[in-house]
A and B are shown apart, each in its own frame.
Chain A
């Protein structure tokens, strides 16, 4: 089973709202990722968590705040977003045992619209 789930599927929020995106996996993977994908563009890495610790932050603005409460769950807290933050937000997970064989598996994404 290589399932990564994300909720909600769609989210519309105003610039003053606070919302959260949720990602869950039950494959025992120890690395989890957030990507942002604008329309007709490739995904861009935002954050990497390894063993529940933030390992990589690709200079993402502080209005995006990641959280990894446990090894199965990854959240992305959103606050004071701008319309240009509207995008598809993808979560991925990976075994992290060895990079010779393991692969990132992606969730279906959350389509975010900021008004």
Chain B
């Protein structure tokens, strides 16, 4: 069975600090897909990134970067120079192979960025 663990329930930082959100996953499939979504207080889940299991390349997008390591089953997310607008709940999710992309979410990490 698949599982996603986000051990950090809540993180508080001051603006301009760097912060890393951890995500550890479990799956028996050799083909799987990993995602990060952001959920601001308004409630909408905003897609940030997806990674396929056969693509371990790390990615940087502006202040955001992702570190995918199959050896440790981790897909961590770093925000550089955090801003107040980054305050939200961040979910890591996993989908195994198969046509319907059933997402299994971690429990989420609430990030509070104070001025």
The interface of chain A, by Cβ under 8 A from chain B, is 2, 31, 41-43, 45, 48, 50, 55-56, 88, 90, 92, 94, 96, 99-100, 102-109, 111
Contact = CB atoms under 8 A, between A and B. Distances in A.
Given A31-B100, A42-B106, 15 more contacts: A2-B47, A42-B91, A43-B103, A45-B102, A48-B100, A56-B100, A96-B99, A99-B99, A103-B35, A104-B47, A106-B44, A106-B46, A108-B44, A109-B43, A109-B44
B100 A106 contact: no
Nearest to A92: B45
B101 interface: yes
Interface range for B: 20 to 34
Interface of B: 33, 35, 37, 42-47, 50, 52, 91, 95, 97-103, 105-108
Q: Is the interface of B mostly helix, strand, loop or mixed?
A: loop
Given A42-B108, A43-B105, A108-B42, A99 B47 contact: no
Contacts of B42: 108
B52 A100 contact: yes
A102 B105 CA distance: 17
Given A42-B105, A43-B105, A50 B99 contact: yes
A111 B43 contact: yes
A55 B99 CA distance: 10
Given A48-B100, A55-B100, A99-B99, A43 B47 contact: no
From A45, A94, A99, A103, residue with most partner B Cβ within 10 Å: A99
Nearest to A99: B101
13 contacts: A43-B45, A45-B102, A48-B100, A50-B99, A56-B100, A56-B102, A99-B33, A99-B99, A103-B35, A106-B46, A107-B44, A108-B42, A111-B43
